[in-house]
Structure 1
C-alpha cells in the first residue's frame, strides 16, 4: 500500500520561480529605463525646437564642461538644470543624455518630417497650390534647388489665407530642364503632394525653367495643363534693383570722371589757354 503524504502549507504557498523574479525585476528596470530615456529625449527635443524657432545655432565650438560657451543647446539645458537640479544634474553628466551631434541631427530630422507632413496635409485638403522653384550654387560650388509652395488655407473661422511654405533644398547634378523636372516631380511625389492640384508655376526667366516647349514649365503643363507659368515677381524685382544699382554705379563713375576732367576742360578752353597749356606740357 502506497503512502500518500499530505501537502504541507509551506508547499502550497511556495515562492515563485527564480526566473519569474528575474523577469519582473527586468521589466521594472526596463520601465524605469524607458521613462528616464523618454524624459532625457524630450528635454533636448524641446530645447532644439525652441532654438530652431529663433534661428540660432545649436552647437558650440567647444562643448567641454570647462568651456566658457558650450553652445546654445547645452547652455539652455544647463540653465534649466539650475531650476530642477535634482532632475537634470545627473542627466547632463550621464552618458545617456541625448545631446550628441548625431542625436541633435536626428531630432531635427524628425521635426522636419512632421512639418512637411503638416504642410502636405494642408495642400491636399486645399483646392489648389502653386509651385515656386529656383536653383543656385552655394559657397561650396554645389548646385541646389529650392522648392516652395503657395496655397489657400481655410482657417477655423472659415476665412481663407494664403500660405507660402518652404519645403526644402534638393541637390541636382546639372541644370538641364529634364534633370530639374524629374527632380522636382520626384520630390513632390515622395512628399505625398497631389500634382493634379497644381494651378501655377513661378520660376526665373531662364530657358531651362520657362521654356515654352522643353522647359520645366512645359513639362509640368503636359501633366497638368491648368498649371499656368508666371515669371517670378521676386526675380523681376531683383533684376530691376540690380539694374538700378548698375545705373547708379555708372552714373557715379561718370560724375567722378567729370570732376577730374573739368579742370582740364577749363584750362584748355580757348585757343590762347590751350597754347599756354601745350607749352607748359612741353616744359615738363
Structure 2
C-alpha cells in the first residue's frame, strides 16, 4: 500500500510529503492553531482505509472553515496559477513580437543604407574597421550617424541583447547585396584572354550555371568587332554553332555610329574642322590666363560663360555637343583669338600668338563656318536617332521606322525643292560678317579663285549622299533576314490587313513566304504559322486592337491568352519582342565598372563587384524590401525576425 496521486483530484486540499511518506491537509496546517489533528502535525501514513479518513476529515467544521479562509485569501491576493502563467506567456509573446518588428525595421534600414551607398558607387568597407579606428569605412560611419539621429536604430541598439549580432559585418553586407541584386544584369566574368573562343565558352558556361537551356536562346547582340561578330570564328558564330536559332544582331546603335563615322570622316573638311576644334580646346585648357580672357570676352558679349568641350574619338554624339558649344560661343572665341594674336594681353609667348593667329584665320573663314553649320544641321537630324537607338526598350518595328524616316529626310535635303543649304549659307555670311574672310581655292596652275556657293553646296550634298549610301548598306534587309522579316510582318498589325492586300495583292504571297522562312528558321510549323497569322490579323482588326510596336503586340497576345488557340504565331510574336536591337544599355555596365573598380578598391572580390555593379546599373528598379527581408530572415539567425 502507498500514496496514490489520483487522490489530488479527489481532495484538492491534500498534500503529500515524500520524505515523511505522509499526507497532510494544507489549509488546516496553514490556519489551525494548536490543532491535535494528525493532518496538521505528524500526517497520515497508514494507508489502510485512507479514503474513509479523508472523507471524515473533510466533514469536520474546522476543516471547512480553514478551506473557506484559504479560498478567500487566494481570491484576494493573487490570480490562479494557470492564469498567472498564461498572462506571463502573453506578455513574453508581446515583447518578442515587438522586438521582432524592431529587428525587421533595423534590418530594413541597414539594407537601405547598403543600397544607397552602392548606387552612388561608394565603397562600403574601410581598411580598418576595429573599434579604435578613426575611419571605419563609409558603411559603418554612416550607420553610426543614423543610430545617433534615427530613433528606431537607437532603440534597437539599446534593446538588442545579442551584442555579437549587429548585422553590419562584411559577410552580412555581401549576403544582403546578393538579395538586392537579383535582377536584370547578371554578372562580370573574368576572361583569361580576349578572344572569341574564351568569351563564347564563358557565355555558354554562365548560361548553364543559371539553369538555362541554350537551345531556348533566340537572340544575341554585340558590336561589329571581329572578335564578337566575325562571320567565321567570332563569338556570335560560335554561339550559333551551339544553337542555330540564336539570331545575331549587330547592335543598331553601333551600326548607326559607324554610318556617321564612315560618312563624315571621308570628308577632308570635316576631319580638319574637328582636328582644329580639338587643338583649340587644348590651347585654352592648358592655360588659366587664356581661359580667363575667353571668359571675359563671353561676358562682354552677354552670353552664358561656357568652355569648349573635348572630343571623343568614337562617340559622335559627344561631337555634336562640342559642335553646339562651339557655335554658341564662336563670336567670343574669335574675339579672344584676335586679342591673343595681337598680343594685347601681354601673353609673352610667341608660339601662343602664332597659334592664335592660325586658329583665328581658320575659324574666321567662310569655309569653316559653312562646314560647321552644315555639320550642325546633319547632326541635329542624326543625334535624336542615335540617342533613341541606345534605349533598352526599343523594338525592331520602331527602329526600322526611324531609320527609314531619317533616310527620307536626308533625301529631301539633296532634292531641288529643299533650300536648307541656302539658309545655312546665308546665315554664315550675314551673322559672322565681321570676322569672316573670303576663302580662296588654289587651282592646279597656282591661280586662286573664290570658292562659290555652289562649291559649298556640292560638299554638303556629298556628305548627305554618303550618309544615305551607308544607311542603305548597314541597314539593308540582307544584313539580318530574321529582323527584317519580323519587322515587316509586325508592321501589318498597324494597318488594315484587307485594305493593304487589296492595294498590294502581290504582298500576300510575300508575307506567306516570309512566314514560312521564319517558321523553318525558328523550328515552328509553317502551315500553322501562316493560318494562325491570318486569323490573328482578322481578330485584331475585328476587335479594333491598336498595335503601335512589337512589344505591345506580344503583350496583347499574352493578355488575350492567344497561346491557347494560336500557339505557333504567339511564339513568333514573343521571339520578335525578345530579340535585342541594341547592346548599348548592356555596355553601360563597363562605364559603371570604371567608376566602381578604382585604384582605391583594388582588393574587391569578384562576387562583391558583380553585385555592386548590378545595383549601380539598375538604379531605376524599385527594390521590394519586404521580400528582401523575408528572404534574409528565412535562414536561421541569432536574432528573431
* Higher Rg of the two aligned structures: 2
Q: Which of the two has greater helix per residue?
A: 2
Taking structure 1 as the reference length, the TM-score comes to 0.48
Taking structure 2 as the reference length, the TM-score comes to 0.24
